[in-house]
Structure 1
């Protein structure tokens, strides 16, 4: 193994370390004080992003609680390379936004559909023309509500005098990219990104550490699913969770650790259904996206007390070895399948073990309690590739495009931060 490959996990550990993050934050705060600037956030808004409709309802209150200035930047187009299946992503986002709106008591129509292109263009341009005005959030909420209800005549009435703000939109899109991000509904503060409501608790905690907040965290409800289990009807009678994951996905690792805890506490069964990593399926993941995912996964891991950071990228042989062994275990000893995948994830994502080498793979299998004979038999199998392809087709059928995906009681959830919704679904009666 080359020296570069040996050192790479330690480089990843440094990049995601709390020590480095603390240094960067102190430097940012020192620079802010030196220049006499106020605490300022940039918010990137896109009218046809359902999560943005939720954000504009809560950001004014957030600004008051923490005495910060929020400067909106309206977008129309996002970097296409960041979204491998934009149609499925758009459709799922609408359903998911409705789910999150209910969790936080926000307005969003349960029957919302994709807005029409003409109305979207009018609303985005109207908002771009007033993005520096104090009433931006109120207007954005009002026009967004009309957009998601497809009230075309009302939109035309309210946007008829909108100036053409093409250059403003393009400048905002360039700014988003230059700051190292790709998604609307995101906040940028002093070198860090916070995308959607699901990451606002990180921002609240950061402001509280600066002693500029009220000391409270309002947007952590999605993390409280464990506390609800004792009051819920979730039990082994609730059936099975189908879990689709990739051995290269940090979010899959975080989801599996949480699902293992849910299964241990309730007795709900996990049906593990791996898929090949996106890159192995010919889909590119741009560096900007990879960098954000790794840093975001680190702070999420810290919230859930999951080890993460010394990352030895398993793409290639390591993934193939892991999948071959895991799938073989699923046919001969399902009791060890979950344990193996958990050890594999932790080894490559937190301990820097190179699973593509004989030495690294041996460490992983020994920790998993798997014999050398089973490893040899597993690596001779080829059928696992067909099973993975079937799993890939299934997530497409369920309206998703990537992992982690969880499915239970006839409902589909994407992302490691939707276990609260999964737990709710498990407590519901099974559809007849």
Structure 2
């Protein structure tokens, strides 16, 4: 039987790495009798500023987000974020290298670090320079492979992040071997549950769903498509608040990150039945066109239809939104009048509200798009809308019981 090599890059301080190891404990026996799986573990400690433009906010969100996944899958996870000294961290990192390619041993180190914190047996890696050398070697290997963060699994040319991308690997393996198996890690899809009765009355009591959106973000495209579906299904009003893309705010995005996002968006789109892939990057003039006409679309009561048309145009139809001919097509696709719309192109008012929207996003403790806010629930990522759906379903249940 041919060996299937799975490379797992784990960061001791990363909650997604911790959950991924726990998921692999269940994953391995499910597929092991059909496939010879060989896990190779690489401890890393990557924190590239291009990959994590707001590292403190990312870490805070990651802990909260991981806590929610614990409820879905029944993983172990501390109630409060552990506070560890540098000595405890380095000792545990050294213990990870001692664990070598044992999933059980690696998970034991993570559990000890996240739940207990006492020093572990670090074996021969007591020397700081030797530990740094080993970590740097793995960081460089991760970089050469084409990625930039921990909590990642690499198999035969494709990357899988954390627990919520494992389902893509499962489907790939099932198709590869023609296996009659059910996937294990598919609990983050939207349910779109129906109403029992009194739908109109229920909808009147539901607060709005707010989407923070960038026209250049591939994940925002997926987020908008799903938010529109959710809005229509549950009768929740959708409010979209556009912000400037990262690059137009002076932040850089590495080529590795852009490439990963493109490929990940394609498979996430396929999974969710959303078109994506024929892209015409609107960076610069295309973004300015989009936002300059947003107020006009709002006055016509068609702001969501307008952004959806624009997003589909630049993400699925390859329409050049930087040209007036391309922009005209998009405006007409949204059911708007081009003669009226083009008189708004010189407006610069959008720069003020785009800035306010970004400031509001930061006030929520978030920084990236797409992000969603519903009552007191704020989440980052198109793949986290299921958390919002849970809140909506709770509200529907409460209203129906009154």
What TM-score, normalized to structure 1? Answer: 0.84
1:73 is aligned to 42
- In the TM superposition, residue 403 of structure 1 has moved relative to its aligned partner by 0.6
SS in structure 1 at match of 2:241: strand
Counterpart Cα distance in 2 of 1:88 and 1:126? 28
Give CA-to-partner distance per residue, 1:241-264, whole Å, 9 cap, x none: 111010000000001001101111
SS in structure 2 at match of 1:238: coil
2:308 is aligned to 342
CA pair 115-362 structure 1, distance change in 2 beyond 3 A: farther
2:93 is aligned to 124
Q: Give the one of 263, 266, 272 matched to 2:231.
A: 263
Conserved in 2, the CA contact under 8 Å of 1:229 and 1:423? no
2:80 is aligned to 111
1:351 is aligned to 317
- In the TM superposition, residue 113 of structure 1 has moved relative to its aligned partner by 4.6
CA pair 377-162 structure 1, distance change in 2 beyond 3 A: farther
Q: Give the one of 8, 11, 29 matched to 1:46.
A: 11
Count of aligned residue pairs for this structure pair: 386
In the alignment, does 2:360 pair up with 1:417?
Answer: no
Larger mean Cα displacement after TM superposition, 307-316 or 165-174: 165-174
2:191 is aligned to 226
Q: Give the one of 350, 355, 364 matched to 1:384.
A: 350
Conserved in 2, the CA contact under 8 Å of 1:312 and 1:353? yes
1:159 is aligned to 121
- In the TM superposition, residue 279 of structure 1 has moved relative to its aligned partner by 0.1
Q: Give the one of 27, 30, 41 matched to 1:62.
A: 27
CA pair 198-240 structure 1, distance change in 2 beyond 3 A: same
Counterpart Cα distance in 2 of 1:184 and 1:148? 16
Counterpart Cα distance in 1 of 2:232 and 2:344? 27
1:333 is aligned to 300
Counterpart Cα distance in 1 of 2:158 and 2:236? 37
- In the TM superposition, residue 146 of structure 1 has moved relative to its aligned partner by 3.5
Q: Specify which structure has the higher proportion of helix.
A: 1
What TM-score, normalized to structure 2? Answer: 0.90
Conserved in 1, the CA contact under 8 Å of 2:11 and 2:151? yes
In the alignment, does 2:377 pair up with 1:408?
Answer: no
CA pair 333-294 structure 1, distance change in 2 beyond 3 A: same
Give CA-to-partner distance per residue, 1:219-277, whole Å, 9 cap, x none: 11101x23445579984522111110100000000010011011111110111100000
Say what the alpha-carbon RMSD is for the aligned residues: 2.2
Conserved in 2, the CA contact under 8 Å of 1:236 and 1:269? no
TM alignment of 1:10-25, pairs within 5 A: none
In the alignment, does 2:48 pair up with 1:94?
Answer: no
Counterpart Cα distance in 1 of 2:84 and 2:392? 32
Counterpart Cα distance in 1 of 2:323 and 2:351? 21
- In the TM superposition, residue 172 of structure 1 has moved relative to its aligned partner by 1.1
1:374 is aligned to 340
- In the TM superposition, residue 162 of structure 1 has moved relative to its aligned partner by 5.8
Counterpart Cα distance in 2 of 1:113 and 1:340? 45
Conserved in 2, the CA contact under 8 Å of 1:242 and 1:406? yes
SS in structure 1 at match of 2:28: helix
Conserved in 2, the CA contact under 8 Å of 1:63 and 1:70? no
TM alignment of 1:207-356, pairs within 5 A: 207-211=173-177, 213=179, 215-223=181-189, 225-228=190-193, 230=195, 235-330=203-298, 332-334=299-301, 336-356=302-322
CA pair 226-367 structure 1, distance change in 2 beyond 3 A: same
